[in-house]
Structure 1
Amino acid sequence: MKNLKMKSARAILDMSQEQLAEAVGVTRQTIGMIEAGKFNPSLQLCIAICKALGKTLDEIFWEE
């Protein structure tokens, strides 16, 4: 399942995949794969992404 919430939160901050990747210590491809729903990040990476985006785990990763 695509992670449109993560992509949307990143877009609101005018942050590129590359910038988010650099902020959390992964490659741009990893961010792209998470957003495309092709990679399940570790809890540690999820937390780092949420901190970088100023969101909670529920706001970004909870499926409705």
Structure 2
Amino acid sequence: MARLGANLRAQTALPALLGAAAGVTFALLGPAYAGLREGIAIAMAVTLALLVGISKTSSA
């Protein structure tokens, strides 16, 4: 039962973690490039890589 509770807490914290990661990624990489499109594209790519990494580690 405790394991179920821990899993539930981890799942509810995941969207907040991903949102924070995306925000930090955009804040760090966005201004480093002259064009806004490039900054957004890089932030999206890094966020996608984070999503894939988190999903692989959580399913393992």
TM-score range, shorter chain: 0.3 to 0.5
- For normalisation by structure 1, the TM-score amounts to 0.31
Higher RCO (C-alpha 8 Å, min separation 6): 1
Q: Which has the higher helix share?
A: 2
Q: Which has the larger radius of gyration?
A: 2
- For normalisation by structure 2, the TM-score amounts to 0.33
